[in-house]
Structure 1
Amino acid sequence: MEEEKKTVRAVERALEVLLCFASGHEWGLTEIAGQVGLHKSTVHRLLATLEDKGFVSRDAATDKYRLGLSVLELSANLWRSDDPSVALLPEMERLRDQLGETVSLYIRDRAERVRIQAVQSKQAIRRVATVGARLPLSVGASSKVLLAFAEASVREAILSDPAWPSQLDRSTVGKQLDEIVTVGYATSFEEREPGAAAVSAPIFSRSGQLVAALSVSGPSNRLTPDRMHEYAPAIMEAAHRMGTISG
């Protein structure tokens, strides 16, 4: 029998408090308590501990909290030379300069995709991509790539998850993913938000493992369906080069 997952509730709560700062720069005690669903006295104790260890700091003037220097110290050790978000950055910049649109790198984290790197377009009107953003795997070109080229067990688990949007027919999506595997790339046109479009291709390591999804995104009036298909070969070629770099 698989060993039951064990967690420490106090640690979970402290991490939930820290994760609030992923969607906001500063938070008040009441705001954090509302976000995590805990009593203010409990949150106050958690914040006091986090502040003591340097993970948050409090602005005495506004009585709001922000991330502390300990987070910066940890993040300094996160980025390694072999990390795809660092190793692939020059190729991403090259692709951005070639196509003129924003280039992003996504990985799958359970039932979400996370943008781990982005190179913004230099055009005045552009798709702004925030590094660290978490997005659902149900929509978007890179989501389709991460699902289409995932192991069969992973794809099945995500498509059969009760949290999968009811308006998206699993069978239809499965057929679309099979088509993406055949053509080698995926597109999305105003699927997640109006006015935005994207085309994405998989990055495979030299051993054949899926490393990430490479995505080019921009305004839908510029990145039209025809333009995306025109760009697809260049994106797949860039993804292939990145695969030789990522190991």
Structure 2
Amino acid sequence: MPELPEVEVCRQGIEPHVLNQNVADVIVRNKQMRWPVSEDIAEIRGLKILAVERRAKYLLLKTEKGTLLLHLGMSGTIRVIDANLAVKKHDHFDLLLASGKALRLNDPRRFGAILWLKDDVNAHPLFQSLGPEPLTDEFPTGYLYEKSRNKAVPIKTFIMNNQIVVGVGNIYANESLFQAGIRPTTPAGKVSRKRYDTLTQIIKTVLAKAITQGGTTLKDFTQSDGKPGYFAQELQVYGRGGQPCVSCKTTLKEIKQGGRATVYCPKCQAR
């Protein structure tokens, strides 16, 4: 599943092609996405894209009359293409631009979303309970410590909760906890302020580096130009269960937490 870095890379990739462009047309080939695509989507025709933003894993193309929300779901990709490029299987949506280019959403599993929001985006139910963006000043040192008091949930579950902080998905939670030397099963409320402050900085660094590297290509994610992301080459624990730790050579242990794979080093992450 594309996580925050992959979505941010996508945003950066499409922005130069769509910013200040007029929308010539929209083509909806399959209305049955995560939520049915509304007929109101046609209202974006003729409007200019004034901003290309991201909130959590949602892409937001803003106009003077509303915002087009796009979500990649589990396996979706968005590419900038020539508008007349032949359609392939699972190409469910095109945003045609006056330039002759198009944004094309391909989503084999149809867990993605295409929504036309005419009111304040932040007032929409999808956004009301979201935590802060991790790469902003709204996610300072001290924040995680304060939010974690009296919490018995494992720390990995805690930092992956979008109501606490958005965008720390499974890959980056594994990597951040390893670099911070914190065992993923440790109760969130048992971690000290000092260790949380270290973890906060590591989360920021890991996410920022992943964005610079173009994201992590595992199975489904590719950038908007079709090129893969290269952060997978930097992974120290995720996907390496049973292999030697890069730091101490201890065999990495793999467990399941909330149905997700968790990999950690029993020695480097002793507590």
Q: TM-score, normalised by structure 1?
A: 0.27
Q: Which has the higher contact order (CA 8 A, sep 6+)?
A: 2
Structure showing the higher helix proportion among its residues:
1
**TM-score, reference length from structure 2:** 0.25
